[in-house]
């Protein structure tokens, strides 16, 4: 995928984010949470990290595995970048950030290889590719490089959760439409506890290959984005309506004695 | 306001609106529909019925969601045509839910999501067909055969057609099914062409004749549309000519393994695709020159997909791929404007040199 391309975009985007981030330097934690999960969701709004998002979300377990890995890398990288932010010059900041992210990804890869070997094999190339996930470098440059460690960690957590939530919804959608099941093979990630978690929603379901193959991911993500936009518009309309009402009430002037 | 009611192009006679065009195209499919029913049994008719109902319901549903006028858009027959074309393209014995899925996807994702009739970049019926072929390759490649070649020595009876479509099917369905000639030719497994035509049952003369009749029926429908000036000759002729040239070329250099141009022109969905699918005014090229390039591309792609691709027939994918290229071709194939010396070529921004 055109990761380099998008990274350049994130540079431009980071400028736009700058104003937002600096306003958050007053550590407005609720703002950070709202941004990460909803308003500035990395998958639905920033459209970052689409390559793994589209490629591995064919089942819930794949989505959860990659979501968790990304989450851990995002938090770790954000904290590390935030700690060194005053010691690296601007010219070498991006290579430094990439080195930090790469070392985190390598650790995660080794951990997954050790504890969830089958899932590691299913996810394959997409675990090392977390390095190139633009959401991580984007957050490191746009937020962690300008903020103290604690807000950066929270930002990493929330962005990671927002990303993972979209991965999970998309994974569930595609698994349900593609295979007619939910939570199959969860034992690959969670151990023997989850061996009976598989729900067969439809009996005798013919596999809809389209949903499992990448085109299904594109259409699924498109529908999710459309859904979010329509919700936001509705919320906006309601908010405006309420504002109008309150304004009208304010304008009322007592004319009677 | 009466003067402003018909928009350009002013080539159609008064009163020939979208609904008339769509009705005539539906009429043009009738010979093909009849021949398919005659040769392969009632399955096609049942599929057409299911597809029409699904198309109208899904169109109405989305129009309602988009807050558009129901009666106005349902009466333009475009959804009905999409359903009909898809139903004619799929095998006559697919389960009902497969038809419903395909048609609903074609109308909702293929057309309405892009903004309804006139805004779809791809041919909706072929979007639905591609979805079905990619998702359910097994039922989508199981065709019925003509009565002479089938073990049962008859076409599938009406009751059995209903059973295969609406319930779990009948036990002796294998007595009625056979690979299509294209499918059989693709999987001839090292046989020389001549041996394959002599020994493989699906390549028997009766099966080839059946496909020939189906293609002739669609050719008739297509000629009817050209006569009514609903479509121009450019796209179909370019498709058939390109297919003829490339099949002829490979037939000459590799006569023992390739099939003759006649085989490629008269089997599969060649005529159906050339006259009824590729000529969709929305998703194909607009200028006559563009239509020639567009058609030639489809013709070449049909042969490429049939010969080296993963699927037996390539009309749907060829049309979809060229739909991608249609806007690009249109930029480079603009006609000369009256009063100008040269035609404009390509996308020019800023000063027009």
pLDDT in tens, B271-301: 999 999 999 989 999 889 999 999 999 999 9
Q: Lowest mean pLDDT of A244-248, B3-7, B141-145, B342-346, name the range.
A: B3-7
B339 belongs to a structural domain: no
Q: Residue B348 falls within a domain, yes or no? A: no
Q: How far is B72 from chain A (nearest CA, A)?
A: 26
3-class state of residue B292 by DSSP: helix
Structure tokens at B33: 């529909």
Q: Is the peptide bond before B9 cis (omega within 30 degrees of 0)?
A: yes
Task: Give Cα A211 distance to the centre of its chain.
Answer: 21
Per CB-CB distance under 8 Å, the chain B contacts of A210 are: 131, 134-135
**A209–B136 CB contact, under 8 Å:** yes
Cα(B341)–Cα(A125) distance, integer angstroms: 57
Does B169 contact A at CB distance below 8 Å?
Answer: no
Is the distance from CB of B315 to CB of B295 less than 8 angstroms? no
Q: What is the pLDDT of residues B60-84, one digit of tens each?
A: 999 998 888 888 888 888 999 999 9
Q: Which long-range contacts (CB under 8 A, 24 or more apart) does A32-38 make?
A: A32/A151, A32/A154, A32/A155, A32/A158, A33/A154, A33/A158, A35/A155, A35/A158, A36/A155, A36/A157, A36/A158, A36/A159, A36/A160, A36/A161, A36/A162, A37/A158, A37/A161, A37/A162, A37/A165, A38/A162
Q: Of A35-44, A191-200, B46-55, B137-146, give the lowest mean pLDDT range.
A: A191-200
Structural domain includes residue A251: no
Tens digit of pLDDT for each residue in B192-245? 888 888 888 788 888 888 899 999 999 999 999 999 888 999 999 999 999 999
State the Cα–Cα distance between residues B155 and B41, nearest whole angstrom.
5
Residues B231, B276: one domain?
A: yes
Domain end residue (candidates: B125, B160, B178): B178
DSSP class of A197: -
B144: left (phi over 0), alpha (psi -120 to 50) or beta: beta
Give φ, ψ of B48 to 5 degrees.
Answer: -60, -40
Q: Strands A181-182 and A199-200: what pairing? A: antiparallel
In B, which residues are within 8 Å of A209 by CB distance?
134-137
Residue B12 lies in a domain: no
Q: Is B135 on the interface with A (CB under 8 A)?
A: yes
Measure the N-to-C terminal CA separation of chain B; round to a whole number of Å: 39
Q: Is A199 helix (H, G, I), strand (E, B) or coil?
A: strand
Residue A48 distance to chain B (closest CA, Å): 24
Q: Are B255 and B316 in contact (CB under 8 A)?
A: no
Contact in structure between B81 and B25 (CB atoms under 8 Å): yes
For residue B164, being part of any structural domain is answered with yes
Residue B167's pLDDT band, with cuts at 50, 70 and 90, is confident
Contact A179, A62 (CB under 8 A): no
- Residue B244 CA to residue B247 CA, distance in Å, equals 5
- pLDDT of B346: 62
> In this predicted structure, what is the pLDDT of residue A209?
85
pLDDT of residue B8: 57
Same domain, yes or no, for B200 and B144?
A: no
Complex ipTM tops 0.90:
no
The residue segments making up the domain with residue B147 are: 18-178
CA dist B275 and B293 (Å) reads: 16
Of A206, A210, A219, the CB nearest to B134: A210
* Greater pLDDT, B310 or A105: A105
SS3 content of chain A, % helix, strand, coil (to 5): 80, 0, 20
Residue B353 confidence (pLDDT): 45
Give the gap in angstroms from C-alpha B231 to the nearest C-alpha of chain A: 32
**Does A200 fall in a domain?**
yes
Which ranges constitute the DSSP H helices of B66-146? 70-74, 78-89, 96-105, 124-135, 137-140
B25 class by beta-carbon count within 10 Å (0-12 exposed, 13-18 middle, 19+ buried): buried
B310 & B246 share domain: yes
The pLDDT score that the predictor gives to residue A247 is 62
From B132, B155, B178, give the residue that closes a domain: B178
Which residue in the set B109, B136, B137 is minimally distant from A219, CB to CB?
A: B109
- Is A249 within the bounds of a domain? no
Say if B6 falls within a structural domain. Answer: no
Distance, in Å, from the CA atom of B50 to the CA atom of B47, rounded to the nearest integer, reads 5
Q: In A, which residues are within 8 Å of B135 by CB distance? A: 207-211
Residue after which a domain boundary falls, among B178, B204, B230: B178
Q: Do B135 and A210 touch (CB under 8 A)?
A: yes
Cβ neighbours of A13 (radius 10 Å): 17
Provide the domain count of chain B: 2
Q: Which of residues 100-119 of B touch A (CB under 8 A)?
A: 101, 109
pLDDT of B11 strictly over 80: no
As given in the structure block, the two tokens for residue A156 are 């990493």
Indicate the number of domains in chain A: 1
Neighbouring residues of A242: CB distance < 8 A, sequence distance ≥ 6: none
Q: Same structural domain for residues B33 and B144?
A: yes
Phi/psi at A28 (5° precision): -90, 90
Give chain A's residues under pLDDT 50: 1-16, 18-25
A182 secondary structure, DSSP code: E
Taking the C-alpha atoms of residue B131 and residue B108, their distance in angstroms, rounded to an integer, is 13
Q: Are residues B207 and B172 in the same domain?
A: no
Task: Specify the pLDDT at position A205.
Answer: 80
Measured CA to CA, the distance from residue B256 to residue B194 in angstroms comes to 7
User: Do B159 and B62 lie in a common domain?
Assistant: yes
The answer for A185, left when phi > 0, alpha when psi is -120 to 50, beta otherwise, is left
- What is the residue range of A19's domain? 3-231
List, as own/partner pairs, every contact residues A81-85 make where C-beta atoms lie below 8 angstroms and the sequence separation is at least 24, other chains included.
A81/A140, A81/A144, A81/A145, A81/A152, A82/A144, A82/A145, A82/A147, A82/A148, A82/A149, A82/A152, A82/A153, A83/A149, A85/A144, A85/A145, A85/A146
B185 in the same domain as B173: no
B210 and B158 in a common domain: no
Number of CB pairs, chain A paired with chain B, less than 8 A apart? 16
> Residue A23 has what pLDDT?
46
Residue B126 confidence (pLDDT): 94
Residue among A88, A40, A77 nearest A152 (CA) = A77
Question: Are B135 and A209 in contact (CB < 8 Å)?
Answer: yes
Residues of A with CB under 8 A from a CB of B: 206-211, 213, 215, 219
């Amino acid at each position: 995928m055109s990761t380099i391309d998008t990274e350049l975009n994130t540079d431009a985007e980071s400028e736009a984010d700058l104003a937002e981030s600096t306003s958050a330097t007053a550590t407005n934690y609720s703002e950070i949470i709202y941004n990460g999960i909803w308003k500035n969701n990395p998958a639905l709004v920033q459209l970052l990290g689409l390559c793994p998002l589209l490629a591995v979300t064919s089942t819930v377990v794949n989505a959860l595995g990659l979501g968790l890995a990304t989450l851990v890398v995002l938090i770790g990288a954000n904290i590390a970048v935030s700690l060194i932010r005053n010691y690296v010059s601007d010219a070498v900041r991006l290579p430094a950030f990439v080195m930090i992210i790469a070392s985190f990804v390598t650790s995660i890869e080794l951990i997954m290889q050790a504890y969830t070997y089958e899932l590691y094999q299913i996810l394959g190339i997409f675990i090392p590719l977390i390095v190139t996930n633009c959401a991580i470098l984007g957050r490191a440059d746009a937020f962690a490089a300008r903020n103290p460690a604690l807000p950066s960690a929270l930002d990493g957590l929330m962005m990671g959760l927002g990303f993972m939530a979209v991965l999970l919804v998309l994974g569930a959608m595609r698994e349900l439409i593609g295979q007619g099941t939910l939570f199959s093979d969860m034992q690959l990630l969670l151990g023997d506890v989850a061996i009976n978690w598989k729900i067969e929603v439809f009996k005798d379901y013919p596999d809809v290959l389209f949903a499992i193959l990448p085109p299904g991911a594109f259409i699924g993500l498109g529908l999710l984005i459309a859904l979010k936009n329509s919700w936001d518009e509705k919320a906006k309309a309601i908010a405006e309506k309420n504002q109008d009402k309150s304004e009208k009430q304010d304008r009322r002037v007592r004319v009677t004695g | 306001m009466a003067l402003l009611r018909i928009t350009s192009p002013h080539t159609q006679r008064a009163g020939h609106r979208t609904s008339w065009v769509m009705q005539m195209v539906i009429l043009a499919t009738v010979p093909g529909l009849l021949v398919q029913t005659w040769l392969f049994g009632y399955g096609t008719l049942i599929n057409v019925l299911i597809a029409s109902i699904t198309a109208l319901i899904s169109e109405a549903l989305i129009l309602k969601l988009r807050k558009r006028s129901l009666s106005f858009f349902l009466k333009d027959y475009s959804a009905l045509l999409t359903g009909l074309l898809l139903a004619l393209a799929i095998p006559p014995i697919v389960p009902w839910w497969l038809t419903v899925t395909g048609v609903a996807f074609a109308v909702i994702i293929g057309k309405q999501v892009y903004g309804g009739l006139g805004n779809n970049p791809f041919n909706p019926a072929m979007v639905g067909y591609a979805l079905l072929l990619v998702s359910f390759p097994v039922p989508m490649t199981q065709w019925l055969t003509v009565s002479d070649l089938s073990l049962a020595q008859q076409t599938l009876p009406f009751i059995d057609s209903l059973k295969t479509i609406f319930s779990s099917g009948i036990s002796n369905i294998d007595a009625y099914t056979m690979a299509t000639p294209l499918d059989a030719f693709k999987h001839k497994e090292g046989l020389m062409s001549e041996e394959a035509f002599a020994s493989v049952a699906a390549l028997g003369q009766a099966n080839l004749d059946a496909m020939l009749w189906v293609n002739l029926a669609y050719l008739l429908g297509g000629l009817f549309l050209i006569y009514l000036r609903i479509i121009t000759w450019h796209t179909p002729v370019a498709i058939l000519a390109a297919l003829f040239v490339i099949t002829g070329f490979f037939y000459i250099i590799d006569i023992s393994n390739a099939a003759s141009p006649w085989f490629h022109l008269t089997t599969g969905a060649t005529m159906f695709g050339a006259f009824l699918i590729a000529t969709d005014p929305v998703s194909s090229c607009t200028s006559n020159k563009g239509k020639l390039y567009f058609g030639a591309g489809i013709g070449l792609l049909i042969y490429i997909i049939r010969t080296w691709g993963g699927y037996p027939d390539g009309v749907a994918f060829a049309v979809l791929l060229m739909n991608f290229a249609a806007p690009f071709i249109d930029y480079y194939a603009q006609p000369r404007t009256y009063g100008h010396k040269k035609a404009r070529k390509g996308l020019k921004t800023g000063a027009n040199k």
